[in-house]
Amino acid sequence: MTFNSSQMILQLREEFEQLLAFVTGAQAQTATMDQMERSLFRRVLQMGYQLLRLFVLRRAEAESHAPLVKKNKTVLPYHSQKGCDYFSIFGKLRFERAYFYGWGGGGECPLDEALSLPERCYSDLLMESAELLGVEGAYNKGLQVMSRLLGLPLSELALETSVAEHSQTVKAYYRQKAAFPSAEEGPILVAQADGKGVPLVRREMDEKVRRGKGDKKTQKKEAIATAVYTIEPYLRTPEEVVKALFKKGEPAAERPTPQHKQIFASLKGKEQALKRLASWVRRREGAHIGQRVALTDGAEPLQKQMLACLPGFPLVLDIIHAVEYLWKAGTALYGETDPYRAVWVEAQTLHLLSGHTEQVIQLLEDKAATLPPNAQAARALRGVANYFRRNLSYMDYAEYLRRGWPIGTGVIEGTCRHLVKDRMELSGMRWTIAGAGALLALRAVNENGDWEDFHAFRCARRHQELYSTPLKLNSLEQVERLETNQF
C-alpha cells in the first residue's frame, strides 16, 4: 500500500467520523428531517466519489510493470502511466494505469479489461440511469433531473449516442432470452399487431416547395407495434359481450390476465416487424399451448403480413373495429341524434357475435338499395357491407367465444398508446427514423421488465467484443455479495 492510498483511507475514516458526529451532534438536535436528508445526500455522494477513487487507485497500485505477454505470445514492455477520464454516477474521475507498448504490437492497458471499462468515458450506471429517464420522458427533462440530484452535467448528444448504441444489442438479447416456464403460461398463445404514427423532423420528409391540398405540415412514419402473450380461456355468451361493450351491468366474470406479455415497436415496416413477432412466438410454443390466435384491426396490408408470418394462427378481426363500422352504418340510417341508432347498433352487434354476419351484410345492402345510388347514406352502407364481406372469414365470433378466445385488440391498442404515442408525441416532439427506432427498442425493453437483465447482457457482450474474453461471472457475484452482505 502506498502513501497516497493510505492517506485516502485515513481521510475517509476521518470524514466518516465527522458524518457520524453530524448526525448525532448538537446541530442534529434542531435540524429538520428535510435539512438532514439533503445534507446527508450530498455528503454521501462525495464519500462515494472518494471511495471509488480509492478503489481504482488501489487497483492501479497493484498492477505489475513486468512485460505483458499477450495470447499470441507477443511481448509488450511497460511504457508509462496513461491517464483515463471516467464519468461515474458520483462525478468525473481521472486516474492513471499502466500502459504497455511494443513496436508493431500496438499498445494496451490491462487494467481496462480487468475493470471492464466501457468504450466511452461514461459509466454504465450513469448512462443506464439517464436512459431510464429518457425512455419515460423528454431527454432534456431527464438530464435536468440527473443534474439536479447528482450535480452531473450530461449532454443530450451523449445520451442520444448511448441510446443509439445500446439499442443495437436489443435484437441479440431477445434472441438468447430463455423461454418462460410453461407452468406460468396459459394454454392460448395470442399475437397482436397494429400501427401508430411517429412525427418526423423536416429533414426526414420528402421536401416540397409548397404543400399541396391535404398535405399536413407534420408527416408521420408508421411504427408497427406487436404483442405476444398467453392467456387462459374466457368463456362468454354473445349477450354477455354486448352488455360489456355497451356498458350494461357488471362483467359476467373476472377476466383472465395476459401472462408474460412481451411488446415491441419498430419503424422498419410491417414485414420486418411481423417477422420479429413470429420469432418471439416460436419461442413461446410448447406442449402447454393448446390454441393459437392472432388479432388485428381491418388494415388489409397488416392482415396479409400477419397471415404470412403466422400461418398456423387463425386471424380475428377486432370486435371494437367491427362495432365502429356498425356505428357508421347507424349514423347513415338514423343520423347522429336519433336514440334508435344505439338500439340498432346494439342489435346488429349481437348478430355479429352470434355468427350472423352474412345476415348483417345482407341487411346493409338491402337498406342501401332503397336509397338513391349516389346518396351519401347509400355509399356509407355499401362501404360497411363491403368491409364486413372482405373480413367475413375473420369474424366467426360465435366460434371464437365458444373457444374462450380474446376477440378484442385491447392489448395492442394499449401498446400503441403507451409504448409509442405517450413518448413519441410529447409536446413538440419530432424524430428522425433512426432516433425513434432506437428509443422505442429500449422503451420496449423497459416495458417488458427486462431492463436490468438486458444491461447485464449488454455489458457482458461488450466486454467480450472489446477484450475478446468472456466477462467472469464471479465478478458479478462479488458485486452482489458486496451489495447484500457487506454494506
Q: Which residue has the higher pLDDT, 381 or 466?
A: 381
Residue type, 425: E
For residue 89, give the DSSP letter: T
Which grid coordinates belong to 421? 404515442
CA 372 to chain centre: 51
**Percent of the chain clearing pLDDT 90 (strictly above):** 84
Identify the residue whose cell numbers are 499470441. 72
Residue 103: what pLDDT? 77
Sequence-distant (6+) residues with CB within 8 A of 147 are 153, 154
Task: Assess contact for 103 and 75: CB atoms under 8 A.
Answer: no
Rounded to two decimals, what is the model's pTM?
0.88
Q: What are phi and psi of 160, to 5 degrees?
A: -60, -40
Residue 209: what pLDDT? 44
C-alpha–C-alpha distance, residues 110 and 467, integer Å: 10
For residue 122, give the DSSP letter: B
Closest CA to 271 of 231, 310, 243: 310
Choice among 43-57, 221-235, 251-265, 407-421 with the minimum mean pLDDT: 251-265
Buried b (16+ CB within 10 A) or exposed e, 198-231: bbbeeebbeeeeeeeeeeeeebebbbbbbbbbbb
pLDDT digits (tens, 9 = 90+) for 315-349: 999 999 999 999 999 999 999 999 999 999 999 99
Task: Assess contact for 315 and 303: CB atoms under 8 A.
Answer: yes
pLDDT digits (tens, 9 = 90+) for 391-437: 999 999 999 999 999 999 999 999 999 999 999 999 889 999 999 99
C-alpha–C-alpha distance, residues 325 and 329, integer Å: 6
Residue 217: what pLDDT? 59
- Give the domain ranges of the chain: 1-58, 179-207+216-419
Residue 336: what pLDDT? 92
Kindly state the average pLDDT of the residues 211-239: 85
Provide the pLDDT confidence category of residue 70 given band limits of 50, 70 and 90.
Answer: confident
pLDDT digits (tens, 9 = 90+) for 176-210: 999 999 999 999 999 999 999 999 998 765 554 44
